[in-house]
């Protein structure tokens, strides 16, 4: 594969992890190309919300983009847990003084990332067919006949990653057993900066601000995977399943415009012991898809992307750099995948003992957060 490289890093996938990787690589003086299968990268995201923990805000401060991120997001300052009967289980600051947690709409966050990437770094309508590599480089082959040659290939192509399939074989993601129906609405409640989590019997409802006047809510229920509901049908199902829950649950759902209601099943994968071979590795959901229960799906993609760029910039051997980065990242993300799965199981349990265990854990966590503890693992240094 001797020849002129199209870029040092070929990034397959233009989602959160892939875009962040391109930004971080450029800051390190490394050129990259992003290959995104969508023809319109700005129209490829649903209007759901994201909670960006302090590991994410630290990452964008490191990249010099925190002020810009603040313009499209809203601060989350406190977290409150409540039962489905309105009993408060605890409330505490969501992060220590001097740190920042933000809520943001996924499309706005995605657009913020796209705007931070040079336009000539984006190759759209590029669906990966396969890759091949040797001692001189790695070549990506796309279904439309395009090819690209680089030093490394980063598979950031999501839950059903083509890169992952070629590396690790074909397998289906694991369905976690619960569906989330979601919505976005304008409300003065957003200015409170509060994330509220309501815990029920095999059901959860949560909301947090994603803009100065905008709130994102999620309703989780145990049922087979559902993906073909829309608009008012989504809202009516939530109202039926969460009838009588404390305010503002029903009020938020009723006030949501039909066009801003969404549904998604919850998936993850079992952690694996390797992400790559030679000049190829996986990033974000392609490497470690996790349930949303710890709010770290996007966060770990961002964190991993910035640390990957750092490793590639300081290690002249690209293969050694990928393996060194994987050796650090796999244990960390394995723990978070398993923690997220555990929190989801407890939160969605219909049995008395696990639900009691979860509520005791919530009380303990709240006390720790009030003492300024419990977030040490998110104080990532970049």
Residue 123 within any structural domain of the chain: yes
* pTM given for the model: 0.96
Q: Which residue has the tokens 């992952």?
A: 164
Q: Specify the DSSP class assigned to residue 47.
A: S
Residue 71 within any structural domain of the chain: yes
Residue 23: phi and psi, rounded to 5, are -65, -45
Quote the number of domains for the chain: 1
Under the banding of pLDDT at 50, 70 and 90, the label for residue 44 is low
Residue 45 within any structural domain of the chain: yes
Residue 152 within any structural domain of the chain: yes
Report the alpha-carbon distance of residue 273 to residue 261 in Å, rounded. Answer: 37
CATH of the domain at 58: 3.50.50.60
Do strands 214-222 and 49-52 pair parallel, antiparallel, or not at all (unpaired)?
unpaired
Closest CA to 233 of 207, 208, 253, 206: 253
Residue 180 within any structural domain of the chain: no
Quick one: residue 124, left, alpha or beta (phi over 0 = left, psi -120 to 50 = alpha)? beta
Task: Give the residue-averaged pLDDT of 127-138.
Answer: 97
Task: Kindly report the average pLDDT of the chain as a whole number.
Answer: 95
DSSP H helical ranges for the chain: 16-27, 54-62, 66-72, 106-115, 162-168, 231-241, 249-255, 297-314, 318-347, 352-370
User: Taking the CB of residue 89, how many other CB atoms lie within 10 A of it?
Assistant: 18
pLDDT in tens, 339-374: 999 999 999 999 999 899 999 999 999 999 988 888
Report the alpha-carbon distance of residue 348 to residue 327 in Å, rounded. Answer: 33
Residue 221 within any structural domain of the chain: no
Closest CA to 14 of 118, 103, 113: 113
Report the alpha-carbon distance of residue 308 to residue 165 in Å, rounded. Answer: 21
Question: Is the Cβ–Cβ distance between 190 and 209 less than 8 Å?
Answer: yes
Which residues share a beta bridge with 220? 180, 204
Residue 102 within any structural domain of the chain: yes
Reply yes or no on whether the pLDDT at 47 is more than 80: no
Residue 327 structural domain: 7-173+269-378
Residue 233 within any structural domain of the chain: no
């Amino acid at each position: 594969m001797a020849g002129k490289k199209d870029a040092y890093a070929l990034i397959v996938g233009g989602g959160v992890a892939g875009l962040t990787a391109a930004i971080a690589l450029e800051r390190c003086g490394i050129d990259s190309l992003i290959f995104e299968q969508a023809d319109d990268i700005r129209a490829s995201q649903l209007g759901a919300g994201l909670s960006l923990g302090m590991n994410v805000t630290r990452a964008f401060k490191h990249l010099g983009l925190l002020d810009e991120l603040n313009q499209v997001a809203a601060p989350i300052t406190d977290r409150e847990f409540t039962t489905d009967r309105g009993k408060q289980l605890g409330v505490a600051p969501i992060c220590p003084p001097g740190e920042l947690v933000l809520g943001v709409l996924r499309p706005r966050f995605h657009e913020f990332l796209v705007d931070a990437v040079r336009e000539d770094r984006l190759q759209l309508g590029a669906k990966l067919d396969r890759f091949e590599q040797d001692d001189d480089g790695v070549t990506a082959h796309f279904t439309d006949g395009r090819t690209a040659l680089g030093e490394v290939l980063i598979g950031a192509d999501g839950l059903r990653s083509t890169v992952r399939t070629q590396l690790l074989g074909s397998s289906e993601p694991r369905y976690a057993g619960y569906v989330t129906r979601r919505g976005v609405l304008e409300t003065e409640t957003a200015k409170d900066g509060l994330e509220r989590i309501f815990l029920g019997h095999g059901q959860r409802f949560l909301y947090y601000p994603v803009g100065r006047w905008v709130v994102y809510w999620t309703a989780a229920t145990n049922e087979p995977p559902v993906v073909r509901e829309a608009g008012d049908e989504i809202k009516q199902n939530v109202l039926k399943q969460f009838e009588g829950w404390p305010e503002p649950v029903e009020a938020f759902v009723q006030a949501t415009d039909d066009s801003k209601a969404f549904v998604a099943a919850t998936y993850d994968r079992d952690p694996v012991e390797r992400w790559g071979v030679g000049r190829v590795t996986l990033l974000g959901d392609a490497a470690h898809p996790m349930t949303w229960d710890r709010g770290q799906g996007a966060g770990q993609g961002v964190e991993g992307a910035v640390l990957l760029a750092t490793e590639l910039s300081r290690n002249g051997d690209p293969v050694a750099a990928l393996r060194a980065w994987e050796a650090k990242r796999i244990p960390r993300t394995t723990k978070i995948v398993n923690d997220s799965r555990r929190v989801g199981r407890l939160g969605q349990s219909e049995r008395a003992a696990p639900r009691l265990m979860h509520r005791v854990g919530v009380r303990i966590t709240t006390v720790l957060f009030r003492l300024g503890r419990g977030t040490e693992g998110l104080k990532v240094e970049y």
